Amino acid sequence: MSTHQSSEPLQIDLRFSSHLALFLLLIHGGALAVAPLLTLPLWAAFGVMMGITMSLVTTLYTHVLLRGKHTVVRLMWGGDGQWVLVYADGVVRDAVLVPGSFVHPHLVILTFTLTGEAFPFSQRSVVIVADAVHPATFRRLRARLRAGF
């Protein structure tokens, strides 16, 4: 019977996710369609629409295109249970997985505490959609998370 310490390392290389891009476009597009119907002054409705647009651009840039200073592009889960996060700009950080990750057949959301960072910069969430990683890697990740490793 394998233990947590003897688990083989798992490397997760993230890539563009068309499913996540479509989802974000639909959700933000729906919000933009509803915004003019709000009983707000015109300037306030415009502000809400600008906020929605900025949210879309930022989220697409960070989580879909995988660019930006705080974008995680690779995760490595060591055999000892330690995590290493690699950012788009090449920075490497050690991290600890926070209990309560969301695991679904098409989506995994992992929340980490970065070692050596002060709050609020010590928390980092990574969204992993099934089409953003190799299918076998995604299955292994889900299986290990469900097994409690």
- Residue 8 has a pLDDT of 82
pLDDT at 77 over 50: yes
Mean model confidence pLDDT for the chain: 89
φ, ψ for residue 43, nearest 5 deg: -65, -35
Distance separating alpha carbons of residues 60 and 53, to the nearest angstrom: 11
pLDDT in tens, 28-50: 999 999 998 989 898 999 999 99
Which pLDDT belongs to residue 103? 93
Asked if pLDDT for residue 64 goes beyond 50, the answer is yes
Taken as a whole, the chain contains a residue count of: 149
Q: What is the pTM of this model?
A: 0.82
Domain coordinates in residue numbering, the chain: 10-14+70-146, 18-64
